[in-house]
Amino acid sequence: MRVLLLVALTGCVVVRPPKPTERPIWRVTEDKQLDVDCVSARPLVRKSGKQGIGIALQLKSRGDCDVRFTVAHLHFADGTRVGIDPPSPQALPGRSLVYVWWPVRFDNNAAWNAGRRSGDLELAYAINGATGTWRIAMVEQ
């Protein structure tokens, strides 16, 4: 009986927690920055966890610039699509450099368990009257 108890307990013991470099994290797969009219934008993944991704959007303006992201989706490679909240609008005066925190909330734990480890973030934008869509290719490794 003691042997069974000892075997059961040793099977449940974690020697150490995983290091941050051993945990899966979402990454931008290509350095595809947005360059429209008065601003250039670049995504920087800062956090990845079970409840989603944390992205800092680096916005550099070349003059007064009104940046609005109107619609956002996460498209997984298997065709699954998740609606997410877009980043907050920004009014950039002159030549500005701003980092906008963008929490991309979705069930990342369920996505991982379903094998959804790649896809695109899609952002519809309106920048000083110019409209379009920005796709950011990503993978979780």
pTM metric for this prediction: 0.81
Find out whether 68 and 37 touch, Cβ atoms under 8 Å.
no
Residue range 45-100, pLDDT digits in tens:
999 999 999 999 999 999 999 999 999 999 999 999 999 999 999 999 999 999 99
Q: Which two tokens stand for residue 126?
A: 């309106």
C-alpha to C-alpha distances, 121 to 13, 41, 45, 93, 94, nearest whole angstrom: 38, 14, 12, 27, 28
- Residue 112 φ/ψ, nearest 5 degrees: -60, -45
DSSP bridge pairs for 121: 74, 136
Domains of the chain: 24-140 (2.60.40.10)
